[in-house]
Amino acid sequence: MNSEEMLRRNFAKFVDNEIIPIANDLDEKETFPRDLFKRLADMGCYSIRYPKNAGGSAANNTHFCIMCEELARGSMSVAAFTAMQCLMGTDFLFKYGTPELKEKYWKPAMRGEKVAAFCLTEPGGGTDLAAVTTMAKKTAEDIVITGYKTWVTNGPVADFFTVLCQTDRSKGPKGFSFFFVPRDTPGVVVTKKFSKMGTRATEISEVIFRDVHVPKENQFGADGTGAALLNSKLEEIRIMTAALSLGLARAAFDVSLKYANEREAFGKPIGKFQAIQMKLATMATEIEASRLMIYNCTRMMDEKKPAMKEASMAKYFASEVACRAADECTRIFGAYAYSNEYSASRFYRDTRFLLYGGGTSEILQVIIAKEIGL
């Protein structure tokens, strides 16, 4: 058994035994599960991407996406807050934070003692980074941040934030920088959590920065490198979101196949009817295509090959596949899917989360068009 198979087997066993049985309950409670969050840390989930000399597992992109896929098969909420803790919420802190910041925040985050969040989106703009208005002004003593971020995953429970700010409006995206802001800094205001359609055990809110003073060493990277730093992570973010999509699509397929073999109508299991067979056959085929796209891309990334086109294609295709799989799941379940007691309802609601993170399908199609020479 190779390392990929072993990793998948370990996470699949945990998901089957510990997450799937409580997934609907997590969704119903709409509350961040701190006990489970800590258990995932104890399993090494949050440090999986980081070097062994820092206490991590030095996993490659393929291993990371296997973990994300399996967690999403159990609960998209769990997979979402885990991915935030592993990647966007802690990556820049590890790479560009001072030793003091890493000791105080990054290491506890790996142990599940502190929760990370990433502040990018603003009310006036999502994909359009040029619309970012949160400002970071340098003074003789420190940096003052003023602005408004929305759709902050983990926002209500986060202990620290990585925040994209404008430092020079005249430079547009070339005037961006990222800053580290502890939650307990005066002027940081976290709004109440959003009431959401899906991923309801992942808490999301707005975060307001009202003349928030942070030390100059809390800037990640050189002046104006914010857009470049973000672009450097887009391949990882997109392929990770594709892996989450694959996990959910597999979950929708699994329960649909089981139900089709058990539910009887007109004297036989509904899976014996051609209409249901066609749905499941299409789901299975598109899931397999997603899997091949995703892990072809992760192996390119592991070999240090450029993969922006492949990551964008995989995220675009896999997220749409997940939406179709969840929709077909509700059709196979019929009226029972309308009840939140059945996971089919949760799958259908959770898929919408996948359409936005890492770029919408529409913007990804534009990016793919450019990548193929249009």
* Selection from 18, 349, 2, 24 nearest residue 198 by Cα: 349
CATH architecture for residues 3-110: Orthogonal Bundle (1.10)
* Ranges of each domain in the chain: 3-110, 116-224, 227-371
**DSSP secondary structure letters along 327-358:** HHHHHHHGGGGGSTTSHHHHHHHHHHHHTTTT
Q: Is the pLDDT of residue 126 over 90?
A: no
How far CA 94 is from CA of 21, 40, 88, 115, 214, in Å, comes to: 34, 19, 11, 14, 18
Output the CA torsion 180→184→185→188 (10° steps).
90
Q: Is the pLDDT of residue 220 over 80?
A: yes
What pLDDT is attached to residue 171? 86
Amino acid sitting at position 190: V
Q: Is the pLDDT of residue 174 over 90?
A: no
Output the CA torsion 125→126→127→130 (10° steps).
30
Partnered with residue 188 across adjacent β-strands are 209
Amino acid sitting at position 361: S
Q: Give percent of the chain with pLDDT exceeding 70.
A: 99
For 221-238, write each residue's pLDDT tens digit: 999 999 999 999 999 999
What pLDDT is attached to residue 374? 93
> If residue 213 lies in a helix (H) or strand (E), which one and from where to where?
strand 204-214
CATH architecture for residues 116-224: Beta Barrel (2.40)
Domain pair 116-224 / 227-371, same fold: no
Output the CA torsion 143→158→315→36 (10° steps).
160
Furthest-apart CA pair in the chain: how many Å? 80
For domain 227-371, give its CATH number from 3.30.930.10, 3.10.129.10, 1.20.140.10, 1.20.1260.10. 1.20.140.10
Average pLDDT value over all residues in the chain: 95
Structure tokens that stand for 355 in this block:
């359409």
pTM to 2 decimal places: 0.95
CA angle 205–206–207, rounded 5-degree value? 120
For 13-59, write each residue's pLDDT tens digit: 999 999 999 999 999 999 999 999 999 999 999 999 999 999 999 99
Q: How far is CA 307 from the centre of its chain?
A: 19
